[in-house]
Amino acid sequence: MLPSKRRSKSRQNRLNKVFSFLARHVPKLSRIKLFIGCPVIRQERKKSKRAFCHVGHHKEAICCAPETARLPLNHIVGLLLHELGHLATGKGDLEADVWCAKVLGVPIQYKGKLHLEWVDLKPH
């Protein structure tokens, strides 16, 4: 296997692991599938550096760009829960974040240069 291929495989594994870990703690996520390497996101990433994940493309699935796995864990969790908020509400960004705060008790924050979804992972 090419080194670049191997790197992208281990990145996808990381993303899958984070996703399964989250799904064990967030029952609503356990019915959802993760689709890494969606060609539509690859196109969207050429236009926007903030394009990492989306929903509504495949039924009951969150599509992710492989690059998502390179982000800090706080961003990965934030993105995945935000997307789950879209699936749960069928609505826009605001409603998705309100759902995360109200139903999951997880406030979605926006941080970093890209102003990306971010979740505080410190135990309280």
Does residue 73 bind Zn ion (CB under 5 A)?
A: no
Does residue 38 bind Zn ion (CB under 5 A)?
A: yes
For Zn ion, the closer CB: 70 or 92:
92
Least separation in angstroms between residue 13's CB and Zn ion is 20
Does residue 94 bind Zn ion (CB under 5 A)?
A: no
For Zn ion, the closer CB: 6 or 57:
57
* DSSP labels, 42-72: HHHHHH-TT--EEESSSTTEEEE-GGGGGS-
Does residue 50 bind Zn ion (CB under 5 A)?
A: no
From the list 63, 115, 111, the residue with the least C-alpha distance to 84 is 63
- Contacts by residues 96-104 (CB-CB < 8 Å, ≥ 24 positions apart): 103/28, 104/26
Least separation in angstroms between residue 39's CB and Zn ion is 8
Candidate residues 24, 42, 91, 93; the one interacting with Zn ion per rule CB under 5 A:
93
Stretch that binds Zn ion, among 9-17, 18-26, 39-47, 102-110 (CB under 5 A): 39-47
Question: HSE on the CB side for 12, CA within 13 Å?
Answer: 15
